[in-house]
Structure 1
Amino acid sequence: MNSSSLRVCVAGAGAIGCTLAARIALSGQPVSVFARGKTLAALQRNGIHLHDLEGRHHVTVNASDDAAALGVQDVVFLCTKAPSLTTLLPQIQPLIGPDTRVIPMVNGVPWWYFHGEGGRFDGEPITSVDPDGVIHASLDPRNVIGCVVFMTAQSSGPGVVSTHNAYRIVFGELNNALTPRLEELCSLIARAGIETQGSDRIRDQLWTKIIANLTSNPVSVITGATLEQIYGLPQMRELALATFHEVLAVATAYDARLSMEPTTFMQFGASMGAIRTSMLQDFEKGLPLELAAIGDAVLEMAQKVNVPMPVTRSVVTLARFCAEHPHKDHVRH
């Protein structure tokens, strides 16, 4: 991968997409952003404003809603929310050639989980996240490099993002091979000032993030609680621990290797401070929630291996009810 002539595109310009695009641009690597509507107009007019641990940054990016005009890319990062993938992928087909590396930066269980996995469910779909097979039909798994994002970012407006925690991203091939294209991708992101790792067991890292998501996101919608409260307050921590152990049992059933000590995990979560989860932010804005990828998909996988998840199922059910029947006292920003 010749970085000087590399064509890189970030598809989706929310908080994570803008953060990634800004960091890549700051490294000197040209980057395009596929965006639409008010977000596109803001990026074209004002670029991206990022406030992170290194300070305040302003970058200009090549923003467009015309995938054909942007042309085939070497690397495409899918930075939309999981529910929007089925809409986004058909729109960005002109970006994807036979050798394009496509990196889905989505929360929860990805549709590609069983592709190249090699176990007894190898090649099976995750119907919760791709019920009609649109994602699988739109994207050849051979183009995909798995990704687990350990980043928190909040957006106060189109193209204006802030984060107060360190960046970390883990990449891995779906078949767990350590390939030159994986190494090159890691180099690209490391140059952007993001801690990066290429893994030969990407699903282990994935379960770590799934546990973090599932112990915090749905309950934040129900309660409005921050990470500090979810993992720090005794009663809330008890609920998070129950979910933690249920998800860990599912991960273990799929031969994931996780070295997570629950007390340390809870302490780390509480140390994140008064962070409102991305799902809570979406809920307050009246946006679709990632419950299918973060909750339903894990329950689907649990059912395949006969692992009961009563606490998790109840919390996901309550979060969905809140989303479908918002109380008048819930503040929508």
Structure 2
Amino acid sequence: MEKIGMRICIAGAGAIGCTLAARLAASGQSVSVLARGETLNSLQRDGVCLIDLEGEHRASVNASDSAEALGPQDLIFVCTKVPALTSILQQIQPMLHEETVVIPVVNGVPWWYFQGAEGRFADTRVKAVDPDGELSRLIPAQHLIGAVVFITAVRKAPGVVESTNPHLIILGEINNQLTERLEQIRGLIESSGIEARASDYIRDQIWTKITANLTSNPLSVVTEATLEQIYSDARLSPLVRQIFDEVIQVAAAHGARIRFDPQTFMELGAGMGAVKTSMLQDHEQGSPLELAAIGHAVLELAALVGLNMPTTRHVLALTDFLASKRRSAQAA
């Protein structure tokens, strides 16, 4: 796979997708975007725009709502919320060729978590995320590279995104190998101005992100609090610490290492500022919440190793209730 001339597609033009599209296209890469509706019209007319810590980045992209029209791609970033994964993986099928690399940029426990892994849970299906195995059938394991994205971005308008924090992506082969294609893609992303690292055990980074998501996202829906409030308010931080302790026990039981001590973790969370989590933004907009991957899949992995997560389970139940209440109000 050659770095120069690589055919790159961003499937999903939300905040993270547009951030990647803007940075990659502005660095001179030829970027296609699979989008629809108002966002598609905006991308075709005005291109993509990102405002971040380094200024404003505008670039033209080849936007379409047809995977067939975009044609075969060498690298596809799947940037969508978990509830839409099956649909978008079905859509990208015409873009796949034998050596296409697919990088799912999603939150929570990935459907492929036990693929390429060793031990007694090897090839176990994560039922909360992939109940019938459809995701695994759509994207065979050899196409996959795992990713953990630490990008905080907000969609200001169709095709226009703002980010006030540094960008970081950590990549890893799902079989823990440091391969040539992994390094090529890491370098490609790095050259666009996004910090990119290659990991020989991407599951460590997945659990770090899960810990951040699970200690903040559901609780933000229940409390309507910002990240700064969740991690620093004396009324909330003890609850956050209980969830943190439960998550790291499950991570350790599955062989992962989280390198933050609790106090540093809380300080980093508070340092994100008065930012609403993506789950709270989805809740306010009446969109489906990513509770299956961020929450219920973690409970599933906990059950596999005989662990209970009572505080996490209770917060998830409250979040489920509020989301269901909002759905009922919208349907009325």
User: How does the TM-score come out when normalised to structure 2?
Assistant: 0.97
Task: Give every structure 1 segment of 4 or more consecutive aligned residues whose post-TM-superposition deviation is greater than 2 Å.
Answer: 1-4, 326-330
3-state DSSP of counterpart to 1:154: strand
Aligned to 1:234: 234
**1:82–1:290: 8 Å Cα contact kept in structure 2?**
yes
3-state DSSP of counterpart to 1:325: helix
3-state DSSP of counterpart to 1:218: helix
3-state DSSP of counterpart to 2:235: helix
Q: Distance in 1 between matches of 2:195 and 2:327?
A: 40
**2:286–2:327: 8 Å Cα contact kept in structure 1?**
no
1:208 equivalent in alignment to 2:231: no
Deviation at 1:132, TM superposition (A): 2.1
3-state DSSP of counterpart to 2:74: strand
1:132-281 → structure 2 map (5 Å cutoff): 132-281=132-281
Identify unmatched segments of 5+ residues in structure 1: none
Q: Distance in 1 between matches of 2:16 and 2:305?
A: 33
Deviation at 1:3, TM superposition (A): 2.7
Deviation at 1:324, TM superposition (A): 0.8
Q: Distance in 2 between matches of 1:327 and 1:84?
A: 17
User: How does the TM-score come out when normalised to structure 1?
Assistant: 0.97
3-state DSSP of counterpart to 1:235: coil
Aligned to 2:317: 317
Q: Distance in 1 between matches of 2:84 and 2:39?
A: 15
Q: Distance in 1 between matches of 2:32 and 2:119?
A: 37
Q: Distance in 2 between matches of 1:273 and 1:179?
A: 37
3-state DSSP of counterpart to 1:17: helix
**CA offsets, 1:122-150, max 9 Å, x none?**
01110101112221111101100010111
CA distance 1:254–1:41, shift in 2 (3 Å): same
Aligned to 1:286: 286
**1:219–1:319: 8 Å Cα contact kept in structure 2?**
yes
Aligned to 1:303: 303
1:6 equivalent in alignment to 2:6: yes
Deviation at 1:328, TM superposition (A): 10
**CA offsets, 1:72-126, max 9 Å, x none?**
1110000011110011111110111110000000000000000011121001110
3-state DSSP of counterpart to 1:50: strand
**CA offsets, 1:245-293, max 9 Å, x none?**
0000000100112222000100010011001000111111111110000
* RMSD between superposed Cα atoms in Å: 1.4
3-state DSSP of counterpart to 2:307: coil
Residue 137 of structure 1 aligns with an amino acid whose one-letter code is: R
